[in-house]
Amino acid sequence: MSEPKVWAKKSTFIFAAAGSAIGLGNLWKFPYMVGENGGGAFVIVYLLCVLLIGLPLMMSETIVGKYSHGNAIDAIGVTAERSGASQGWRGIAVLSMVVIFIILSFYSVIAGWAFDYTKAFMMGDMGHSAKEVGAYFGDLLADPKRLIIWHTVFMFLTAIIIARGAQEGIEKALGIMMPVLFILLFIVVGYSAFATGAFGKTLTYMFSPDFSKITPMVVINAMGQAFFSLSLGMCVIMTYAAYMRKDVSITESSIYVSGLDTLMALLAGLAIFPIVFANGLDSGSGPGLLFVTLSTAFTQLGTMGTILGVSFFFLVIIAALSSSISMVEPFVKWCEEHLGWNRFAVTFLYCFAVWAFGLITVFSFNIWGKVDVLGTGKNPFDLLDFVTSSICLPIGGLLVSIYVGWVMNKDISREQLSTLSGALFGLWLFVVRFVAPVLITIVFISSVLGEEKMNALIQQILAIQNEPLLVLTLIV
């Protein structure tokens, strides 16, 4: 057998996994989720979710990948074989590849918006008033041609980076992209901290939680967001872990990656909210927060606003690119290793297929905007987003935790987590076996049931707790 391909530098796994984790989930989704879910209340629950579920699951995926040094499907195959378990568990990786294909198809379209915004800020096309900026966003979404152009540019760049190969392509690209990302975000945070006069208010908003705002739905949203943001349940981290050098610690790397991802999300909040507050804008305006609200603020700042606008949306592109390449790698690696296909050809074919599928999302913002798919009340994009993010991600995470916690031979984990003390290893195993699956199941059920039914169910359960007789009957 040939030597497994591994990253040249010790730090590359951390760069690559953090690059995958940090993306639209941090810069676009996290701030608006904070705004919509009670500010500090959401932040504290989110932090707990990262610590209690995210980190242990990231370690689990990393163990499987690092142990086998292969693509995710074979990685599960190899560990299952050593554990005397069914090869059917490889289905987890197959499922996740289908899901990432769909996620990437709409991720690319949304990342394309950032290209358009970068160009608009450069050219001064954004307008000056809130109304003009709002209209700009509306016009962009209404124009399939423009959306397709940027979607194409984004997928093409993704394909070029991946086609160059895991070592040269990803390692070099990330070595430049990740530090630039940090520097640019710090510049915007610096501006927000010193020039807006609303930094204190932002700190209170984000970090002094009003505990009465922690509702079941806030917990559920925070957990879903943690999964998406940490790229978990998708075998993406598992795939990157296959390139991990033997001398790199899984625990340490996972702590760095989830820490960096969380730091980036918090920094995005610290960059955005002071501008929102200083301009009297609405922090709970939803998905438009980044594209409409923040741009409105930028356009009112003259030349400084142009510089900030260009830097910020360029930053979004970089972050999205380092995530999108991680979504292409699992399939390409499998084709390369398993079918022996040419990496370049596979990459371009796959990216073309994703691009074509992405047209569904493009048209969902205009000509198909009002189409109600199968009576779900959702247009095609909303449905794809819902099915992948709210249903498939939790299932993926659940399956990984069951596989690593219950099915896979414990010796594999023990060997791989050799730097952990006995007690810490026991704690990790307990979380992976019990805490994570139970919590994820709750998220999954709730996302299927929807907010109202979930709240009603929780009320019922709480009521049952107060009725000893009913509890007894249920137990019997």
Among 37, 192, 196, 326, binds ligand PHE (CB under 6 A): 326
Among 192, 231, 296, 447, binds ligand PHE (CB under 6 A): 231
Residue 369, Cβ density class (10 Å: 0-12 exposed, 13-18 middle, ≥19 buried): middle
Backbone angle region of 197, left / alpha / beta, with phi > 0 → left and psi within -120 to 50 → alpha:
left
60 binds ligand PHE (CB under 6 A): no
Cα four-point dihedral sign 391, 394, 400, 403: negative
**Closest separation in Å from C-beta 101 to ligand PHE:** 11
CB atoms inside a 10 Å sphere around CB 282 = 11
Residues counted in the chain: 476
By beta-carbon proximity to ligand PHE, the closer residue of 317 and 327 is 327
Please state, in angstroms and as integers, the Cα–Cα distance from residue 286 to each residue in 29, 32, 134, 216, 283, following that order.
9, 5, 13, 19, 8
161 binds ligand PHE (CB under 6 A): no
389 binds ligand PHE (CB under 6 A): no
**Closest separation in Å from C-beta 21 to ligand PHE:** 5
254 binds ligand PHE (CB under 6 A): no
Q: From CA 452, how far away is CA 475, in angstroms rounded?
A: 27
How many Cα atoms sit within 13 Å of 103 on the Cβ side?
A: 30
262 binds ligand PHE (CB under 6 A): no
By beta-carbon proximity to ligand PHE, the closer residue of 391 and 458 is 391
Q: Which residues contact 124 (CB under 8 A, 6 or more apart)?
A: 306
Q: Write the binding mask 15 to 34 for ligand PHE: x where contact by CB under 6 A, - elsewhere.
A: -----xx-xxxx--------
The H or E element that residue 48 is part of is helix 40-49
Among 196, 229, 258, 401, binds ligand PHE (CB under 6 A): 229
**Closest separation in Å from C-beta 26 to ligand PHE:** 5
CA angle, 180 then 181 then 183, to 5°: 65
Binding segment (CB under 6 A) for ligand PHE, from list 159-167, 211-219, 323-331, 412-420: 323-331
State the Rg of the chain over Cα.
Answer: 22
Q: From CA 46, how far away is CA 61, in angstroms rounded?
A: 20
Q: Write the binding mask 327 to 366 for ligand PHE: x where contact by CB under 6 A, - elsewhere.
A: x---------------------------------------
Q: How far apart are the first and last CA of the chain?
A: 57
By beta-carbon proximity to ligand PHE, the closer residue of 214 and 384 is 384
Q: From CA 329, how far away is CA 156, in angstroms rounded?
A: 14
Residue 300, Cβ density class (10 Å: 0-12 exposed, 13-18 middle, ≥19 buried): middle
323 binds ligand PHE (CB under 6 A): yes
390 binds ligand PHE (CB under 6 A): no
396 binds ligand PHE (CB under 6 A): no
CB atoms inside a 10 Å sphere around CB 101 = 18
Q: From CA 227, how far away is CA 139, in angstroms rounded?
A: 32
266 binds ligand PHE (CB under 6 A): no
For tokens 């219950």, name the residue. 406
316 binds ligand PHE (CB under 6 A): no
**Closest separation in Å from C-beta 329 to ligand PHE:** 10
**Closest separation in Å from C-beta 98 to ligand PHE:** 13
111 binds ligand PHE (CB under 6 A): no
114 binds ligand PHE (CB under 6 A): no
Q: Any alpha helices (H) in 230-301, and if so which ranges?
A: 236-241, 250-278, 288, 295-299
Are residues 272 and 196 in contact, defined by beta-carbon separation less than 8 angstroms?
no
388 binds ligand PHE (CB under 6 A): no
108 binds ligand PHE (CB under 6 A): no
**Closest separation in Å from C-beta 260 to ligand PHE:** 12
**Closest separation in Å from C-beta 237 to ligand PHE:** 8
**Closest separation in Å from C-beta 29 to ligand PHE:** 7
By beta-carbon proximity to ligand PHE, the closer residue of 136 and 312 is 312
**Contact positions toward ligand PHE, by CB under 6 A?**
20-21, 23-26, 100, 103, 228-229, 231, 234, 236, 323, 326-327
